[in-house]
Chain A
């Protein structure tokens, strides 16, 4: 139960030191870790600058932010992951249709929450390497309108496709892809593994998410 995670500043300091000292430069792995951190850090700032740009209308801000995110996230990889074991058994055309339905659903979910995190800020505090192309970048989320302590938000970054991409996010240690996969697999288990049923359900959800809340 003892927290083994190093204090954020210490982690950061160690990473910076490793990069600065030639003898400690571990080559590609260390450099890639920094790439993941830089990737998250830079794009957070880009996102924040869009969200805080008062010259833009709300719609413009939402659209620009969405475009930015779509460029950072590997939608296909995430969608396939959330299908679990049904990815292998489903017909390829159903899988492709699912990827599109998933993208629409996720976009609708994002838009329904957009306004709620326009005032919040994220700060990169460090990263952990899973392997040479798989990194967890740790950040702190600060909500100026809340008396709560900053929340931990982790981003999973893959670099195996030549450029960094986001594949998952965790809020307070809860990974959303795992939660999505459990939901989808459970749903498919109750519907004879019929991916088309899931696609229809996701499409319906996306429409409902677009409606104003009560």
Chain B
């Protein structure tokens, strides 16, 4: 019967296909996590130790659970007052095709970073695909608005430095919920910081660089929230404990990305 709710919820998850740049958008928008972690990590740790009322979950590797829960509430308030209304207008005003174009452009901008991470993981074939996607979609696809590469059998895939660290054997560390950006862990937050540093578009400083960077982040946020809007609403509505649900989704989702689809059958628990 779980499968009833599971299938029902799963089919609505909208956790976009891992081969599409949707995931990439998810990670692009959170590039600031790396920076924030550096600034906030010690504070979070201190707060977690000082004001914890929810028993820590050793099995869940979540020693800062109470702080994380507080942060999730803060993020929900920010979303409620500032983000959700904008996302609703965005979905109302911009048709599906337009939103798809925005999503494609953002995915195209992240391809150089994906290419580098493909190479760092020794995935030469996937790196070649990333390069081809960049070339085709930037030219024939007109700056990435369209995705002709997928049409000819070169689908997108996501990679980031957090995944690269995982491939290199770095453990994820304790679960964290960061202000504004949500679920993370030290490994992924560090990875996002590195991705930001290696992103070529952040290295090109021109007259309107700040405007460009701001607009990119703004649309990335809109794209992410717009794509996950119904998913998050569904999870919130169905969850017995939204926090635990989100934590589990995040971990399974990241592990799936790190595995690149590698079969996990033998790792599953017995029923």
Contacts and interface: CB of A to CB of B under 8 A. Distances in A.
Nearest to B243: A186
Contact of A73 (B3, B12, B239, B270): B3
A63 B159 CA distance: 43
Contacts of A129: 265
Question: Which of A2, A70, A111 counts the most chain B CB atoms within 10 A?
Answer: A2
Interface stretch (B79-87, B108-116, B186-194, B254-262): B254-262
A173 B10 CA distance: 10
A105 to B, nearest CB: 7
B20 interface: yes
A153 to B, nearest CB: 7
Contacts of B8: 109-114, 117
Contacts of B238: 109, 112, 205, 209
Contacts of B265: 128-130, 136
Contacts of A128: 263, 265
B163 A174 contact: no
B15 interface: yes
B260 A120 contact: no
Nearest to B121: A1
A109 B9 contact: yes
Interface stretch (B31-39, B41-49, B245-253): B245-253
B261 A5 contact: yes
Contacts of B3: 69, 72-73, 78, 155, 166-169, 176
B245 A179 contact: yes
Interface stretch (B53-61, B129-137, B215-223): B53-61
B1 A120 contact: no
Interface string B78-105: 0000000000000000000000100000
B245 to A, nearest CB: 5
A25 B247 CA distance: 43
Contact of A1 (B17, B123, B239, B263): B123
Contacts, number: 213
Interface residues of B, number: 62
A77 B271 CA distance: 7
A143 B100 CA distance: 16
Interface string A96-121: 00000011011101111110110010
Question: Which of A105, A169, A182 counts the most chain B CB atoms within 10 A?
Answer: A182
Given A73-B2, A128-B263, A168-B3, A187 B241 contact: yes
A125 interface: no
Contacts of B201: none
A198 B239 CA distance: 12
Contacts of B142: none
A103 to B, nearest CB: 5
B261 A3 contact: yes
Interface stretch (A12-20, A48-56, A87-95, A144-152): A144-152
A172 B167 CA distance: 20
Given A186-B57, A187-B240, A172 B17 contact: yes
Contacts of B239: 183
A86 interface: no
Contacts of A182: 60, 244-245, 247-248
A57 interface: no
Contacts of B208: none
Nearest to B247: A182
A177 B123 contact: no
A131 to B, nearest CB: 9
Nearest to B16: A148
Contacts of A116: 11-12
A201 interface: yes
Given A113-B12, A190-B55, 7 more contacts: A1-B167, A109-B5, A158-B271, A174-B10, A175-B268, A183-B240, A186-B57
Interface of A: 1-5, 66, 69-70, 72-73, 75, 77-79, 81-82, 102-103, 105-107, 109-114, 116-117, 120, 128-130, 134, 136, 141, 147-153, 155-156, 158, 166-180, 182-187, 189-190, 198, 201-202, 205, 208-209, 213
20 contacts: A5-B263, A78-B271, A81-B271, A109-B4, A110-B8, A117-B12, A130-B265, A168-B6, A172-B17, A173-B18, A174-B253, A174-B256, A175-B252, A178-B252, A180-B5, A180-B6, A183-B239, A183-B241, A189-B55, A205-B238
